[in-house]
Amino acid sequence: QARRCGLVHRELAAAVTESLVEVCQTKSIPLRDAVCAAMLLAVARQLPPQNAKSVRLSCQSYLNLRSHFQPPVEASSMGVLESAVMSFHTIKPKTSFWDLAGNVKKQLENTIKQGHIFSVAILFRKIVEVFLKTPETAPATVAVNYLDLPENQPAHLSRLNFAVGQKVYGGIFSVAVCRFQQRLFLNFVYSEPSLSPATVQQLADQVVSRLTQVSQLEPALASIESV
C-alpha cells in the first residue's frame, strides 16, 4: 500500500512558551518530557471508552549522543549522532500531568545511567529492515525529537523549523520540537494512511491546548475524557 509522510504544524506564542519554560524549570522537568506527557494524554483520549480506566502507552525520546562520547563530539563535526530511549507509562484518569512528565524524565535518566543509549544507534539498520518488512508495526505510541537552539542566530530569522521523515513507521504520533526566538515550534509528522490528517490535526490541537493549560499553572490531570 502506498505511503506518504504528512506534517501538521503548530506553534506556541512567545508569552505561552516563556511561561511554559518557567513552569518546567520550577518543577525540574525538561521541556521535551512535558511535550511527551501532553502527547501521551492526547493519544489516551482518542482510545475507545473501554480503555478509559487504565491505558498503557510508550514514548520514544530521541537523544543527542555527542556529549556521551569520550571525548565529546563537537557540534562542528558533521554526522547524525542520536539515539532513542523508550519509556512506558500507565495513564489513569486521575494521573497528574506533572507526575507523568516526571516519570518520563526518571526513566530516561535511568536508561542513560545504565549506559543503554547506544543500542538503537548500533542496531538502526536492522531496526529499519524489520519495519520495512512489517510496515504496520509502530515502535512506540508517540515520539519526541527536541532541538533547543541558541539565541545568537541571524537577526533576520524569525522562526526555524525541522522535521523528521516518518513514512516507514505506521501508527506512531511523532513530533519535531524546536525552541527558537522565545517561541515553541511543533511539527507533527506521521505516516499516511496509518494515521489520517484529521486525526493528527486533532491530536496536535490537544497537545497545544494541554501545554497552554499547564503553562498557566492550572490543574492538569490526565483525564481521558477531556483536555
- pLDDT for 159-218, tens place per residue? 666 666 666 666 788 899 988 888 899 999 888 888 888 999 999 999 999 999 999 865
Q: Does 33 or 77 have the greater pLDDT score?
A: 33
H or E segment and range at residue 109: helix 97-113
Report how far residue 196's alpha carbon sits from residue 122's, in angstroms, rounded to the nearest whole number: 32
The CA dihedral of 31, 37, 38, 42, to the nearest 10 degrees, is 160
Which residues, at least 6 apart from 40, have a Cβ–Cβ distance to it below 8 Å? 57, 59, 89, 91, 100, 141, 142
CA distance 68 to 34: 23
Q: Torsion over CA of 28, 32, 38 and 42, rounded to 10 degrees?
A: -160
Predicted local confidence at residue 131, as pLDDT:
67
Of residues 109 and 153, which shows the higher confidence score? 109
E strands of the chain, at which residues?
4-12, 55-64, 82-91, 142-148, 173-180, 183-192
Residue % of the chain over a pLDDT of 90: 36
Residue 96 has pLDDT above 80, yes or no: yes
Average pLDDT over residues 136-144: 81
Cβ neighbours for 152, distance < 8 A, ≥ 6 positions apart: none
**Band (10; pLDDT cuts 50, 70, 90):** very high
Tell which phi-psi region holds residue 226, choosing left (phi > 0), alpha (psi between -120 and 50) or beta: beta
How many whole angstroms separate alpha carbon 183 and alpha carbon 11?
Answer: 7
